Amino acid sequence: MTKHIFVTGGVTSSLGKGLTASSLGRLLKCRGLRVTIQKLDPYINVDPGTMNPFEHGEVFVTDDGGETDLDLGHYERFIDENLSRDSNATTGSIYQAVLAAERRGVFLGRTVQVIPHITDEIKRRITRLATDEVDVVITEVGGTVGDIEILPFLEAIRQFRKDVGRENVCYVHVTLVPYLGPSGEQKTKPTQHSVTELRSRGIQPDAIVCRSDGPIPESLKLKISNLCDVPLRGVVNAVDARHLYEIPLVLHDEGLDDEVCRILGLAGEADLSAWEALVARVDTSERPVRIGVIGKYVSLPDAYLSVAEALHHAGYDHGARVRIEWIQAEDVEGLLAEQRLRDLDAIVIPGGFGERGIEGKVTAAGYARDHDLPCLGLCLGMQVMTIEFARNVVGLVGANSSEFDHTSAHKVIDLMDTQRDVVEFGGTMRLGVYPARLTPGSVVARAYGRELVYERHRHRYEFNPRYRSRLEGAGLVCSGVSPDDRLVEFVELAGHPFWVGTQAHPEFKSRPDRPSPLFRELVGAALQRAEGRRPRLLDLDDIAAPPVVPARG
């Protein structure tokens, strides 16, 4: 029978429940177990697709087109499995499903209540991932214990252990052990109160993951064990790690996976050699390279979390330490481009929606084209690269996207004819995985090493095919198209070190040990630029010996 692990959190948000769930998933996979992960989010939005990036951060897109929480990106990167829309459930989607069932008469006119109807729907969302192909389902419950909106989720997972058997469920609680400088002590009271609150909801944690900025002594672990009624071996210290990918090793050293497997009756030894090799590669990646991200939401880097991780993954592949410069798109407009971009080794122009900052992105694309600065455009990034090329190379004055200028004489980015009526009546975007056929010998075909690729999408507007021949005639290479040749998916410039745009979001499929091909090639081009202009350190053999001056007699 499928085993279930529930990860809850207390004291404060952003403690690392998602990374704890992801790391535990990786450790179980290292034992040969088949693992999947899901996130239960207590907010009332149906999904994060319409939420403000400044508030919510990135919208992560799955293969099947689900618009999900950014934690699913961590899950996929750690366990190296493609998840689905079923791996993210919100309060909004749960209530929506229950109310739709009520309207259909499913409940036969009975009063619809939180218990049992909402809790039953939550349990159904958990159960549907427990297929024959999965050994362990890890479920992260968003929010913190004590939040009013989390109560139905806690009740559902409390009932779940009774439904499937105690031997098939493990509760892991993530909490905080803060250090108080004036007293010079680490305090366990926040952990005690958090566990007390959880127990008041009928859930006794099997393991407690204590987040701290420094190691917790055994005496404090024993105190937590006694006061929270958790075995000492179940009190795990997740001390701040040097980087994300070290966390599984920290938790393994603390024995978390051993304790979880003991509770669930899971066998097998963990083979961490591959992950240890990855961590060693991260630790030894030192070649410096500076890459600017020209974005609209850079004041909250989580809005571009997968982009940042994909850059780091590519850096590890090259042994490089990528330093990301977050650049507000409006700061690049006009004459500001030179001072903001001249010291960079490459730029990324990521996706986004709305008119703000578009001219800055167009300027950045033009600067990269004119100055041989490696540039990767993602989704909207590809669109502004197309706009820039149409304006400044082809000479189409005022070229733009119909998203930003309905009156433009040259809408080089536009809705497809088949989309217009649908969009006007609230139609959705192109979401999820789509195929693209690459031009043999192109930069993108060489990067991918094949001529048919599948990448994830999240957009509505497309390259206008009416302008394709004019732009190609001026030198723009449409190097990837849909199999029916209707949609342009990749563009590039011949003779440029790396000036590539894609309508897709390849960052979503990047892995720490298997980087996205486009990001890998961008970082490679950036390193060539960086090391080509960096002064070479002189070797002793390079220094000419001083002339021998004969001694005076």
Active site residues: 379, 505, 507
Q: Are 457 and 61 in contact (CB under 8 A)?
A: yes
The candidate with the shortest Cα–Cα distance to 231, out of 208, 257, 198, is 208
Q: In one letter, which amino acid is 175? A: T
Q: In one letter, which amino acid is 68? A: T
Q: Are 500 and 375 in contact (CB under 8 A)?
A: yes
Residues in CB range of 546: below 8 A, 6 or more apart: none
For strands 488-493 and 499-502, give the pairing. Answer: antiparallel
Q: Are 322 and 374 in contact (CB under 8 A)?
A: no
Q: Please provide the DSSP assignment of 133-162 as one string.
A: T-SEEEEEE-S-TT-GGGHHHHHHHHHHHH
Per the DSSP assignment, residues forming a β-bridge with 325 are 292
Burial annotation 467-497 (CB, 10 A radius, 16+ → b, else e): bbeebeeeebbbbbbeeeeebbbbbbbeebb
Please work out, in degrees rounded to the nearest 5, the angle formed at the alpha carbon of residue 499 by the alpha carbons of 495 and 501: 135
Cβ neighbours of 232 (radius 10 Å): 11
For strands 136-141 and 35-41, give the pairing. Answer: parallel
Q: How many angstroms separate the CA atoms of 38 and 4, rounded?
A: 11
Q: How many angstroms separate the CA atoms of 443 and 440, rounded?
A: 9
% helix, strand, coil for the chain, step of 5: 40, 20, 35
